[in-house]
Amino acid sequence: MVQLVLGSTSPFRKSLLEKFNLEFVCAKPCIDESALPNEPPEQLVARLALQKAEKVSQEFANGLIIGSDQVAICEGQILGKPHNFDNGVKQLSSFSGKTVTFLTGLCLLNANTGKSQVIVEPFYVSFRELTLAEISAYLKAEQPYNCAGSFKSEGLGICLFESLKGDDPNTLIGLPLIRLRQLLKNEGFDVLAQQNH
């Protein structure tokens, strides 16, 4: 029986994958997540998603390994996690009235065959004009300091937005489930057919 492995310890990705109602295990991929010099963001997230899956596949010889990585981009700048209140204020202030693009790299690696599928899924978040008081109140309430872009869209962060645009709302949280289902199907693993096992 093939084992489904999520190459991530993110509680957000774990809860997304649980929507599939399947058994899976989580494994932490210890890799260097630094960007290469002049590496475009699309290539960065694709490369890191693949590297995470490859790293985890060393532990699971018969696994279907899911790797994922995400960056936020505003006006050509790659945005990381803020890590603290002051950086959160800077990030959200710079988003006010603008659209931020989230790129999520997704890899499905068959550890048995070595075959990998890698896609990059975009998602667009348009922010309202935000006041400093709103930004401060939001950050203190939700403390999203380990989230790229300084917000949690699945929580109170929804109050910061004008609109959301993309094919799959799960993408913004970090795991494009619609595309993942297709990648699994390509490997002969049908999510709905697995429900009876």
Which residues are the active-site residues?
69
Look up tokens 């199907």; give the residue.
185
Q: b/e per residue, 7-46, with b = 16+ CB within 10 A?
A: bbebebbeebbeebeeebebbebebeeebeeeeebeebbb
Determine the Cα–Cα distance for residues 28 and 61; give it in Å rounded to an integer: 16
Q: Which class for 176: exposed (0-12), middle (13-18), buried (19 or more C-beta within 10 A)?
A: buried
What single string gives the DSSP state of each residue in 96-118?
TTSEEEEEEEEEEEETTT--EEE
Element housing 123 (H / E)? strand 116-127
- Say how many CA atoms lie within 13 Å of 172 toward its Cβ: 23
CB 141 within 8 A of CB 156: yes
Q: For helices 132-142 and 85-95, what crossing angle results, to 10°?
A: 130
